[in-house]
Amino acid sequence: MNRFCKVSLSVVLVLAALAGCSKRAPEAPVAAVRPHQLTAHGDVRVDDYYWLNQRDDPEVIAYLEAENEYLEAMLDHTEGLQDKLFKEMKGRIKKDDASVPYFKDGYFYYTRFIEGGEYALHCRRPGSMDAPEQVMLDGNGMAEGHSYFSLRGVEVSPDTKLLVYAVDTVGRRFYDLHVKNLETGADLPDVIPQVTGNAVWALDNRTIFYAKQDPVTLRSYQIWRHELGRPVNSDVLVYQEDDDTFTCRIGRSKSDRFLLISCDQTLSTEYRILKADQPDGGFRVFQPRMRDLEYHIDHQGDRWVIRTNLDAPNFRLMESPLDRTDLVAWHEIIPHRTDVLLENVEVFDRWLVTEERIDGLSHLAVRPLDGGASHLLEFADPTWSAWIAFNPTLDTDKLRFGYTSLTTPMSTYEYDMATRARTLLKQEEVLGGFNSTDYVAEYLHVPARDGVLVPVSLVHRKGMMKDGSHPLLLYAYGSYGYSQDAGFNPSVLSLLDRGFVYAIAHIRGGQEMGRQWYEDGKLLKKMNTFNDFIDCGRFLVDRGYTAPDKMFAMGGSAGGLLMGAIVNLAPELWEGVIAHVPFVDVVTTMMDDSIPLTTGEYDEWGNPHDKTYYDYMLSYSPYDQVKAQDYPAMLVTTGLHDSQVQYFEPAKWVAKLRVKKTDLNPLLLKTNMDAGHGGKSGRFRRLEETALSYAFMLDRLGITK
């Protein structure tokens, strides 16, 4: 049978192994070929698998299920290893763990887990941690009967008597808002269906503002006002974002005095403000949107604090009076610096704390408002991640911050900004005999082909010989300016203890080395992202950390696009590649503004309705660039209900690879039929997917235990 022929799906979905022939390799599903022409700028592309974009078509579901059965048949011999890995990773996690409590409005709030529980309990105690506990929400009980469960938007009313929360049981990020009476324990009849889950209270304790998404594009574009006790159909639309390249959300200043509507686009920001004790009032624009002007605001005393890129690519800090918020009234607090990226700011009554990035690494800077000198917190690891934690109180000298590294578990500190005393409040407990001194972290600077130095963070067991004998997993993301910091992942220990090196490539497209690092990895410079990753891989081979027959690559979402590009550009460099929810059909998706998230991303990828961008995007689009060549072993995952990268992108990609590739390496597609972009829900269930990925790699290396 010619597998390129257009044939019935029922004929090609043959799984020989499932028919009782245990010694014969199962036959891979081959999707029917149904050519569909796509024309733009006089160029005609033929998409043989365009038909797979019909989520409700039984034939599509049958194909996805057949791919799942094929994966199970191909990896059935690793079931024992998967189970061992799952139990190993689960065994490192403290089953009855709890977060560090924080104090607000008379209560200590925290989350905790119970033995055997997949989801957190949201709890509080009045006045003291010795007081009786009130369980506000029990995620385990709420998740019963659902294969997927997500809880977000948990916020207590200002008078501490009510709780708003949002639940999604499908995975497509449509949430239902609920309100609970914390005094009686009963839910109110107010239920607001199919919204984003973003909601905040006004100070009157009876008004809730919430964001709603477009039902087709999923763009968050409306802010509504709901008054408790009134029918949902009488809710008031207070703002609608009509520019389809912007999204909007609702928040509240740290002082609780102002409600904030933020409207964001890749290159522009606009805020609207309203006093939180006047929920029936009208929001006013803080500073009208301008192309290439980004700003983020918070309230501190008698001024607004503004982090902005106004004449400052790496951002600077400015202020304005409460009643004058236009650009003319902005005055500088912290100037722009070419070697420091200003990423975030936290306000206190007597302090400003900023998150800053220097040479790819995150730093925290403390600035007293009395005119004293600022100082940086110091960290000892070669590579790390530090961030401002939740600090709800303005009138305090205590800063809470988080810290982790490749060898240091997640840690929460309290820092006295006046005395500079640092207190460890909690460090994630890693069970199973973990000792950080058994591992070594390194921070390298790898020369890319154009001479730019790309940072790489990596970790391995102490005493490792750099002789090319060790397997290595190289991970990256490289888009949207999202920086991938080095942090502790207890699951990675299962690889390190089997001889792996784990590495993170801080490639262009992120923002690790400042704003220009991002600018040099998007639009018509996107190829830098892919070349950086490949160059990092080759450097690690040249320096003896690994060898091509032992090196694996992994990325997800936009990082999955990275995976799709590097297997087309340098397939010989990888023993295996794992692409999670990969964005691989770049041109077709970006040409269709009905697909979720498309219009808001023209400034990230380019608008292919412009031929210049069309041609450039086509030159790297993984789906369009699949060719007749050898490819490494590949594991591709997706979720049927994914709202960010639609399931049909990876499904079509795998279908096309099957008929094009010239090797005998396995090509496996796993579709989670009950989840979306984030995969399985639950504290432990998601480890099953990690175990599958790890078993796939170990199996390629012949490691069975």
CATH number for the domain that contains residue 251: 2.130.10.120
Instruction: Report the alpha-carbon distance of residue 641 to residue 672 in Å, rounded.
Output: 8
In a domain, 251, yes or no: yes
- Sign of the alpha-carbon dihedral angle for 53, 59, 65, 70: negative
| DSSP label at residue 27 | P
pLDDT tens, residue by residue, 83-106: 999 999 999 998 888 999 999 999
pLDDT, residue 683, reads: 65
Based on the structure, what is the number of domains in the chain? 1
**Residue from 558, 611, 566, 610 nearest 586 by CA:** 558
Q: How far is CA 365 from CA 333, 359, 378, 412, 420, in A?
A: 14, 15, 10, 17, 12
Q: Supply 350's token pair.
A: 């007597």
Sequence-ordered alpha helix ranges (H) in 608-674: 611-620, 648-660
The answer, yes or no, to whether residue 634 has pLDDT greater than 90, is: yes
Per the DSSP assignment, residues forming a β-bridge with 667 are 634
pLDDT in tens, 398-453: 999 999 999 999 999 999 999 999 999 999 999 999 999 999 999 999 999 999 99
Per-residue confidence band for 20, with pLDDT thresholds at 50, 70 and 90: very low
> What CA–CA distances, in Å, run from 628 to 500, 571, 656, 658?
31, 12, 10, 10
User: For strand 398-405 and strand 384-388, is the pairing parallel, antiparallel, or unpaired?
Assistant: antiparallel
> In which band, very low, low, confident or very high, does the pLDDT at 22 lie, cut at 50, 70 and 90?
very low
Residue 682: its pLDDT value, please? 60
Domain extent at residue 210: 116-292
| Per-residue confidence (pLDDT) for residue 412, from 0 to 100 | 97
Q: Other C-beta atoms within 10 Å of 354: how many?
A: 23
193 lies in some domain: yes
Q: CA separation (Å) from 467 to 53, 447, 535?
A: 47, 21, 19
* Domain contains 353: no
Share of the chain above pLDDT 90, in %: 86
Say if 356 falls within a structural domain: no
Spatial distance between the Cα atoms of 130 and 280, rounded to a whole number of angstroms: 40
- Distance between CA 510 and CA 521 in Å, rounded? 7
Listed residue (588, 581, 665, 662) closest to 623, CA to CA: 588
Establish if 226 belongs to a structural domain.
Answer: yes
pLDDT for the residue 171: 77
Does residue 123 belong to any structural domain of this protein?
Answer: yes
Going by their DSSP bridges, the two strands 384-388 and 207-213 should be labelled as: unpaired
pLDDT score, position 170: 83
Kindly state whether residue 132 falls inside one of the protein's structural domains: yes
Residue 477 domain-assigned (yes or no): no
- Span 201-218, mean pLDDT? 95
Q: Which tens digits make up the pLDDT trace of 350-359?
A: 999 999 999 9
Which tens digit of pLDDT belongs to each residue from 101-147?
Answer: 999 999 999 999 998 888 999 999 999 999 999 999 999 999 999 88
Q: From CA 404, how far away is CA 307, in angstroms rounded?
A: 25
Closest CA to 161 of 196, 126, 120, 211: 126
Q: CA 537 → CA 38, 509, 568, 618, distances in Å?
A: 35, 17, 15, 24
CB-facing half-sphere around the CA of 223: CA atoms within 13 A = 25
Residues labelled as active-site residues: 557, 642, 677
Q: How far apart are CA 442 and CA 382, in angstroms?
A: 6
H or E element at residue 70: helix 58-74
